[in-house]
Amino acid sequence: MEVERTSVGDVQVFRIKGRLDSGTSTAFEAAVLKTIGPGANRVVLDFTQVDYVSSAGLRVVLLAAKQTRAQQGGFAIFGMAKPIHHVFEMSGFARIIALFDDEVAAFASVSPPG
């Protein structure tokens, strides 16, 4: 798994490549969670190149979403492949995490109003 972090305005974008499973989720957790704090509370995950997400990966995604929510920020994922989307649907997380097909919509969802 590779994680590439870029900032667009006050939105941090993490482009993830590869498998997000129990073997890699710890690194992913470390890479993402430490960047979230006061004033850095808007996060977009690019899942276009994610091959697989295990329950451990889901937990980190949930944790990141929870933390941005605690900082009154925004959290969105875009570009999910169908099997992964299915996992999100099945687990019920699609209901609590904003999932988008394209990047623009994802950005719009996390950007502050106005």
Partner 1 sequence: MLLRTRIVLIFGLATIALLAALLVPLLVVQNLTERALTTLQREEQGAAWSAALENAATPFELLLSQLTVDPALLAATTSYDVATAGRLLSAVQARTGVYRIDILARQDRLFASSAGLAAETPLIDTNNLALRLQRDPWLLGLEAAPDGQMLLVVTTAFPDGRALSVGANVSAVLKTLGHDADRKLFLVDRGGALLLSTSEADWPALSAALAGRDGAIQFDREGRRFDVASTPLLNTAGLEIGTLVSMRDVTAESQRRTLVLLVTGAAAVLVFMALLLALYGFTKDALDPLAEITRMIRAMAAGDAMVSAEMPDRRDEVGAIASAVEVFRRDIVALARTKLTGTLRQAQQQALIRSEMARLADVLEAGEREDLLADLAEIEASAEEGTELAEGFRRMAARVTAQHRKLADLLAERTRDLDTVRQALAERAQLSRLRQELEVARHLQLSSLPQVFPPFPHRRDFEVFAAMEPAKEVGGDFYDFALLDGDRLAVMIGDASGKGVSAAMFIAMGRSILRSAIVRGASPAQALAVANSTLAVENHTMMFATVFAAILDLRTGWLTYASAGHNPPYVVSEAGGVSVLGGASGIALGILEDAEYEDEEQLVPVGGSVVLFTDGVTEANAPDLSMFEEDRLEAALAGLALAHPNEAVATILAAVRRFADGAEQADDITVLSARYLGPVQTAAAGSVLMTADATGQETA
Of residues 8 through 67, those in contact with partner 1 by CB under 8 A are: 19, 21-22, 25, 51-52, 54-56, 58-60, 62-63, 66
Pick 58 or 106: Cβ nearer partner 1: 58
Residues in 78-107 that interact with partner 1 by CB under 8 A:
83, 90-93, 95-96
* Nearer to partner 1 among residue 6 and residue 22 (C-beta): 22
The minimum distance between CB 100 and partner 1, in angstroms, equals: 20
CB of 22 to partner 1, least distance (A): 5
- What is the per-residue DSSP string for the chain? -EEEEEEETTEEEEEEEEEESTTTHHHHHHHHHTT-BTTB-EEEEEEEEEEEE-HHHHHHHHHHHHHHHHTT-EEEEE---HHHHHHHHHHTGGGTSEEESSHHHHHHHHSPP-
Rounded Cα gap, residues 110 and 92, in angstroms: 21
Report the interface residues with partner 1, using CB under 8 A.
19, 21-22, 25, 51-52, 54-56, 58-60, 62-63, 66, 83, 90-93, 95-96
